[in-house]
């Protein structure tokens, strides 16, 4: 079993923001999550990842036969779940290399239950920097401090490539990017797909579909999943708007 969501209702400060969400992501591959602004897409990803700010009123989230709606964020991460944020937080005083080394070390020891090999880490880091067309000088910068939008998103993808998670939740990692940056982000997504990861991508933009091929498209509106389909559903939305299906 992959990821299955049944009748999920979620609130924050006693206000319902997800209402009886049902979604079956067991087909694997790259899943596209679409919907108008404020439809609940980002919230949905955060809830899957175990964000403690949200209260699950009813329903369940099953991932690899685990009831992850009952687990905290750390235990969900230990199952190989990774969330890339739409607006990554700056970490003044912490270098990119120090940050990446720290999360890789923690991931190996606490999640993979393996010893951390520094030499292997640096080799993997070097390969993925080259893969993403990133310069070595990037590593000495402070995390997300005075970064461009593209640099922030590339760092999210770099983390993903280094950790190699099984379930990847991507919240608008293509937003605000130029054509070349979108190609690089898509390249990272496709690599993780080829390595066997299950991916859920929230996006509003059609340009990324020139470089990835979703296996399934899910549309949210007013806190619920209201429509599912194949790639043709995304194309209908981009050509005719959400009014054509909602």
Taking the complete model, does pTM exceed 0.85, yes or no? yes
The SS3 call for residue 216 is strand
The stretches in the chain having pLDDT less than 70 are: 1
User: What is the C-alpha separation between 245 and 49, in angstroms, rounded?
Assistant: 29
- Quickly tell me which residue has 């997800």 as its tokens: 18
- CATH of 3-244, picked from 3.40.50.2300, 3.20.20.70, 3.90.1310.10, 3.40.50.300, is 3.40.50.300
Q: For position 90, what pLDDT does the model report?
A: 94
How far, CA to CA in Å, does 116 sit from each of 75, 108, 113, 242? 20, 6, 9, 47
- Quickly tell me which residue has 């964020």 as its tokens: 73
Joined together, the tokens standing for residue 177 give 């990017």
Q: For position 115, what pLDDT does the model report?
A: 87
Q: For position 182, what pLDDT does the model report?
A: 94
Q: For position 201, what pLDDT does the model report?
A: 98
Q: For position 1, what pLDDT does the model report?
A: 60
- Quickly tell me which residue has 């000495």 as its tokens: 140
User: What is the C-alpha separation between 67 and 57, in angstroms, rounded?
Assistant: 15
Q: For position 13, what pLDDT does the model report?
A: 93
Tell me the domain boundaries of the chain.
3-244
How far, CA to CA in Å, does 105 sit from each of 101, 109, 110, 114, 162? 6, 6, 8, 9, 11
């Amino acid at each position: 079993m992959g990821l299955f969501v049944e009748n999920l209702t979620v609130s924050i400060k006693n206000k319902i923001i997800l209402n009886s969400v049902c979604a079956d992501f067991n087909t694997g591959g790259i899943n596209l999550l679409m919907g108008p602004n404020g439809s609940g897409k980002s919230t949905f990803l955060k809830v899957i990842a175990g964000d403690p700010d949200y209260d699950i009123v009813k329903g369940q989230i099953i991932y690899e036969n685990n009831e992850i709606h009952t687990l905290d964020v750390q235990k969900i991460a230990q199952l190989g779940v990774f969330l890339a944020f739409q607006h990554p937080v700056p970490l003044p005083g912490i270098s990119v290399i120090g940050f990446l080394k720290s999360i890789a070390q923690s991931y190996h020891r606490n999640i993979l239950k393996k010893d951390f090999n520094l030499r292997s880490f640096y080799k993997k880091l070097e390969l993925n920097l080259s893969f993403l067309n990133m310069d070595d000088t990037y590593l000495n910068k402070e995390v997300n401090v005075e970064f461009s939008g593209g640099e922030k998103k590339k760092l999210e993808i770099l983390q993903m490539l280094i950790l190699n998670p099984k379930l990847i939740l991507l919240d608008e990692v293509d937003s605000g990017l130029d054509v070349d940056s979108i190609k690089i982000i898509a390249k990272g997504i496709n690599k993780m797909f080829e390595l066997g990861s299950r991916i859920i991508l929230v996006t509003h933009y059609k340009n990324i579909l020139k470089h990835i091929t979703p296996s399934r498209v899910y549309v949210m509106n007013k806190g619920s999943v209201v429509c599912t389909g194949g790639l043709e559903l995304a194309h209908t939305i981009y050509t005719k708007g959400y009014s054509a299906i909602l």
